[in-house]
Structure 1
Amino acid sequence: MRKGYWIANVTVLDARRYAEYQALAPSALAQYGANFLARGSERVTLEGNTSHTRSVIMEFPSYEQALACYHSEEYQRAKAAREGAADVDVVILEGL
């Protein structure tokens, strides 16, 4: 079974409201076996047009788990709390 990865690029617009997302998301991510590989703001864009200020890479036990987590009721509640508080791009990728 191939692992799954979330790659997220984020720009926080409202830190107070984004904190609501940060309070809800960890329990949803843990239920699906998420493991943070990289998270932070120190990065450099060498190609492309991304203007986000933060990047996150998470590993899941499988691609299916990564997708199930994103679509889960628990994560969707966290995502709803984040609405308008951040600009976010998320890609879910199947590992090799």
Structure 2
Amino acid sequence: MPAFVIVEVDITDPEKYNAYKELTPATVLAYGGKFVLRGQPVTVLEGEWNHERLVMLQFPTKEKATAWYNSEGYQYAKSVRSGAAKANFLLIES
């Protein structure tokens, strides 16, 4: 069953965040994942949205998504992102 990782991001250091963005795609691909969207700005149609960027990843299974998030490669990318952005990660199985 497919699983999605949804990420709300507020960027505090664009240069450092760009380095993170360069590292992440290979880690996602290694676990069978793909980017569904990587967008900014977000247009609010209803309600409130207080984040700068929205990212959605799709993985074949919840287990693959979790393995990606916990992988050595992604943990390194995450360390590069440290101090460059605040992010909330959500895992949803469809």
TM over 0.5: yes
Map 1:56-75 → 2, pairs under 5 A: 56-75=55-74
Give a deviation string over 1:16-36, Cα, whole Å, max 9, x none.
Answer: 111221121111111011111
Give a deviation string over 1:46-74, Cα, whole Å, max 9, x none.
Answer: 335x4111101111011110111000010
Partner of 1:26: 25
Distance, in Å, in 1 between the alignment partners of 2:42 and 2:51 is 10
Map 1:1-96 → 2, pairs under 5 A: 2-45=1-44, 46-47=46-47, 50-95=49-94
Number of residue pairs matched by the alignment: 93
Distance, in Å, in 1 between the alignment partners of 2:55 and 2:25 is 13
Amino acid at match of 2:82: E
Distance, in Å, in 1 between the alignment partners of 2:19 and 2:36 is 22
Amino acid at match of 1:55: L
TM-score normalised by length of structure 2: 0.90
Gaps of 5+ in 2: none
Distance, in Å, in 2 between the alignment partners of 1:12 and 1:91 is 18
Gaps of 5+ in 1: none
Percent identity, please.
Answer: 34
